[in-house]
A and B are shown apart, each in its own frame.
Chain A
Amino acid sequence: MSPPEAKLVCRNIWKLFGQGAHEFLEKTGGNPTLEQISTEGLVSAARNVSLSVNEGEIFVIMGLSGSGKSTLVRCLSRLVEPTAGEILFHGENLLAADEKRMIEIRRHKMGMVFQHFALLPHMTVLANVAFPLEVQGVDRATREDRARKMISLVGLTGREDSYPRQLSGGQQQRVGIARSLAVEPELWFLDEPFSALDPLIRREMQDEFIRLQSVLRKTIVFITHDFDEAIRLADRIAIMKDGEIVQAGTPEDIVLNPATEYVEEFTRAVPRAKVVRAGSVMTRDDGDAPEAAVSARATIAEAAPLFLQGAERLRVTGESGETIGVLRRDDVIELMMRG
């Protein structure tokens, strides 16, 4: 298995709002404390953030309101100019790109979905979805054709001529998603796309999102303040607090080994079985592997029903179906008892 390729890397990103942020950062040696920042009258939104997002993964940034998630994701797309740091997209230094190059990159390589949809009120669904292409100067027939495809992808066929205000919140966000996909972006940002929706619709949209990603295989940076949502969707999670990333890792990692009390606070209510994967609980294959099998990527909650048929042990399979271990009933029960 080749190591996953990093699509987007950022190193030591700082973003301080307020007058004289640059000079302040230099004066303090590029590493001021929170107190120093607030005595200076600045607002810190991102502090020394480093992360890398791999090709084809869903990277979730989770944090409470005001922790700096939106600012960070806007720094990554350079909608907000970071005070300091380095951003590499495909190895290209984004912060060195001029305006023209930046427009180029955003037009063809990036897409973004917004918390409050950001649909243009004076345009129909079709025109909204086609708008990014229109801005690029794509001719009408081509862009509308492409927009229709995207609209059907998100299941809104038949609503092309509606206006945004005639749609429900969930439908509006589907339009937002279709629009962001219209340019076939390589890197897909979603800033709390489902936060403004009520819980039932949110759940439905998450399922929809998982379905889409199984087809599209985009590289995704997904923002949320909802830990459950993060766990459901993420390949990897970064948890932010006061502009800092306090822990980054797979959902399993974070639930099993929370780095700080703050993180533990979130993980407490999460049922382990929904996060921990068979691969993490399995024991070494001792020769007589049973017939019933489960993928190493399946969660324990998904594997558990198989034990109901009376099996004591399950075979755990890797990517290509080879046996890599066994999952024992007792281990599973013990894990589930822990919560």
Chain B
Amino acid sequence: MADVAATRSGSVTTTTAWRGLVVFVLALAAFILFWKFGEDIAPWAFEYPKKQIIPAARWISDFTKWLLNDATFGLFTFTDLTRFIAAVIDFPYKVALSLLASGLMSGPGSSAVQLLPPISWIAVTAIVTLMGLYAGGRRLALIVALCFLFIAVFGQWTSAMVTLASILVAVPLGVVGGLLLGIAAYRWRWLERALLPILDLMQTIPVFAYLVPILFLFGFGATAAVVATLIYAMPPMTRVTMLALRQVPSEVRDLGNMIGCTRRQMTWRVLVPTAKESLMVGVNQVIMLSLNMVIIASMIGAGGLGYDVLAALRRLDFGAGLEAGLAIVALAIALDRLSQAFANRNAATDETQARGFMARHPYLLAALGFVVLTGVAGLFVPAIQAYPEALQVSTGTFWSRVVEWINVNFFDTLEAIKNTLLIQLLVPFKRFLLSLPWAGVVALLAFAGFLLRGPKLALLVAALAALIAATGQWEKAMITVYLCGISVMFAGLIGIPVGILSAERDRLWRWVKLAIDTLQTLPSFVYLMPAVMLFRVGDFTAMIAVVAYAVAPAIRYTVLGINRVDPRLVEAGKAMGCTEWQLLTRIKLKLALPEIMLGVNQTIMFALSMLVITALVGTRDLGQEVYIALTKADPGRGLVAGLAVAFIAIIADRLISAGAARARARLGIAEEPS
């Protein structure tokens, strides 16, 4: 019975889908006609008239200037506010920095004298190793210790500690801020409704775009970097908090009410502890995002490893860049594993019944002991205080040689690959996109939105696309679309087959998963280094970095989609005598299509966020615009270009999601409960 009904509705939707396709082809034909012959009739549709451009960038810049110079909240001015925030962040940052990197200094500027040295490298390594032992056992302790030793041996210690200091300040603030915001949004529906679109936007605005106004408001330096990191890392925590609180079983909430909890007790004694496990996932995210952002924020003065990479990139000193990059990788792995272990730790296993402070806190005491002992010993033996330079291994020259060797031996091959792709594919595609009339593209996008979901989506998509044109950024946006499109295509060409292959081979999938999990913990900055080494600067290099960064979701979602296919359907297919190939193409891929589409969607999001960073290697798209705004400290220009990237992301996201939902409906797969 149910089956009959399903097939009938299935065939109905199939015919409507056909009709939709026909209509779409007609619209496409109209679009092509207009593109070929419309230029003379309506030149404004091809090049947005200069006079009509909305000077949004100037407005925003004026507004920020006004904020800084004149804005006042009655009791205090806006500048007072930013100074206050800066002070709140500055103090803990100074403390963390003194402890880890600079030591306790006294006196002004460069004439300062060091009163106390920072915590010795041995003690820091011992502390993190003890944390690993405490949270995850010997294996984790070993991994963490190796990561930190690696950093010391390769001479990256001080830079890494500067980076770590920023993280130590940003993470607690980000976690607490995100948690409070999430709780508030959970409690007040109107706040949630106001917050959700902002969170959506924050996730799609490229990180560089935040940097500009922050640079403007807080000036160049570590404080600004921490502020940027906070803004970047807080939204996921807010989201996770809202989700985690909502997932608390309703019975537990009823229990809270039933025993007469006040609102505060309900939040802090019942909901938050019950949701702790999911909340810890958010903490891990905050840590990893903070690391990513602290590295990027080296552009506005975060210093540390990010700055080393950036400086090396500018000098094209691959050896130094790669070393700093690997140190970032080591730090990322250590932080990721540690925070995950803390999140998964079973609270019950270590509730020792022992009395007495010493017996209850062996790890804490051991750590303190290390700090004091090595601190004192370090006064006499410098090698204990700071890792001796004589024992440092510099692979910088080695890497430079490797690159040199590759370039000497494979220069022609690499260059040939690069040039062929550029000339045959990249450049023509770019030309093609640039020749399209903006008005026609807007109309076509709106039409797609209308077909996929309805007038509301059509309106949203058209408005966003038109805004990009109206702020005079169409051309740059098209270059962004071109780079993003090419990269996504390659990421898909690599990722989807890899996903298909590993979906059915458990062993392979374990390795692939390990690889992409590790790749995803790496700050996006790191991806630039090898690409630049092999291909120098330019669009092609940018594309390679973007593909490497964005391939992970394509693989992941393909595997997910294929594994989700109902095994009974596959069995039915086998029973009907399908060949392996038929099984794959007719059943598995078809049913996994919605999931794969969402994977492509994620790939686009990843690609866009990476694309902006590749501005460093000389692209000419919106990312470059943001980057230039950053170097010129022009908040309006940066924000407008950043928003344009966000708009592209939103357009792609909404259209693809709508398409995936339709595909789901057509295949009779229920919508995911979200």
Contact = CB atoms under 8 A, between A and B. Distances in A.
Contacts of B262: 103
B255 A107 contact: no
B347 interface: yes
Contacts of A105: 260
Contacts of A116: 249, 251
B258 A122 contact: no
B260 A136 contact: yes
A97 to B, nearest CB: 12
B260 A120 contact: no
Nearest to B255: A118
B158 interface: no
Interface in B234-268: 249, 251-252, 254-255, 257-262, 265
Nearest to B270: A120
Chain B contact-residue range equals 20 to 34
B269 interface: yes
Interface in A60-117: 74, 77, 79, 103-108, 110-112, 114-117
A14 to B, nearest CB: 20
Nearest to A74: B254
Contacts of B257: 79, 106
Contacts of B347: 122, 163
Interface in B250-306: 251-252, 254-255, 257-262, 265, 269-270, 273-274, 276
A135 B261 contact: yes
Interface in B86-101: none
A29 interface: no
B390 interface: no
Contacts of A104: 260
Interface string A238-258: 000000000000000000000
Given A120-B273, A120-B274, A114 B259 contact: no
B342 to A, nearest CB: 15
Nearest to A109: B260
A100 B470 CA distance: 56
Contact of B259 (A115, A122, A131): A131
Contact of A122 (B255, B265, B276, B353): B276
A79 B251 CA distance: 11
Contacts of B249: 116, 118
B348 A112 contact: no
Contacts of A135: 259-261, 265, 269
Chain B CB count within 10 A is highest, among A108, A117, A121, for: A121
Contact of A106 (B251, B258, B348, B351): B258
A163 to B, nearest CB: 4
B347 to A, nearest CB: 6
Nearest to B263: A99
Nearest to B254: A79
A132 interface: yes
Contacts of B261: 103, 135
B260 A114 contact: no
Chain A contact-residue range equals 20 to 34
A106 B260 contact: yes
A118 B260 contact: no
Contact of B251 (A114, A122, A132, A166): A114
Given A118-B251, A121-B274, A77 B348 contact: no
Contacts of B348: 163, 165-166
A247 to B, nearest CB: 28
Contacts of B270: 120
A114 B265 contact: no
A185 B258 CA distance: 11
Contact of B258 (A111, A115, A120, A166): A111
A257 to B, nearest CB: 36
A107 B262 CA distance: 11
Contacts of A111: 258
B254 A118 contact: yes
Interface string B313-351: 000000000000000000000000000000000011001
B244 to A, nearest CB: 13
A273 B252 CA distance: 40
Contacts of A132: 259-260
A183 interface: yes
Chain B CB count within 10 A is highest, among A74, A108, A115, A120, for: A120
A118 B99 CA distance: 44
B454 to A, nearest CB: 21
B254 A107 contact: no
B365 to A, nearest CB: 24
A111 B353 CA distance: 31
Contacts of A74: 254
Contacts of A123: 273
A77 B251 contact: no
A107 B258 CA distance: 7
A295 to B, nearest CB: 36
A122 B269 contact: no
B255 to A, nearest CB: 4
B254 A112 contact: yes
Contacts of A120: 252, 270, 273-274
B254 A114 contact: yes
A114 B262 CA distance: 20
B274 A103 contact: no
Contacts of A131: 259, 269
29 contacts: A74-B254, A79-B257, A103-B262, A106-B257, A106-B258, A106-B260, A107-B259, A111-B258, A112-B254, A114-B251, A114-B254, A114-B255, A116-B251, A118-B249, A118-B251, A120-B270, A120-B274, A122-B274, A122-B276, A124-B351, A131-B259, A135-B259, A135-B260, A135-B261, A135-B269, A161-B351, A161-B353, A163-B348, A189-B258
Interface of B: 249, 251-252, 254-255, 257-262, 265, 269-270, 273-274, 276, 347-348, 351, 353
Interface of A: 74, 77, 79, 103-108, 110-112, 114-118, 120-124, 131-132, 135-136, 161, 163, 165-166, 183, 189
Q: Which 10 A-B pairs have the closest CB atoms?
A: A107-B260, A132-B259, A118-B251, A106-B260, A103-B260, A118-B255, A163-B348, A114-B251, A112-B258, A122-B273
Given A79-B254, A120-B252, 13 more contacts: A79-B257, A103-B261, A108-B260, A112-B255, A112-B258, A118-B249, A118-B254, A118-B255, A120-B273, A131-B259, A135-B260, A161-B351, A163-B348
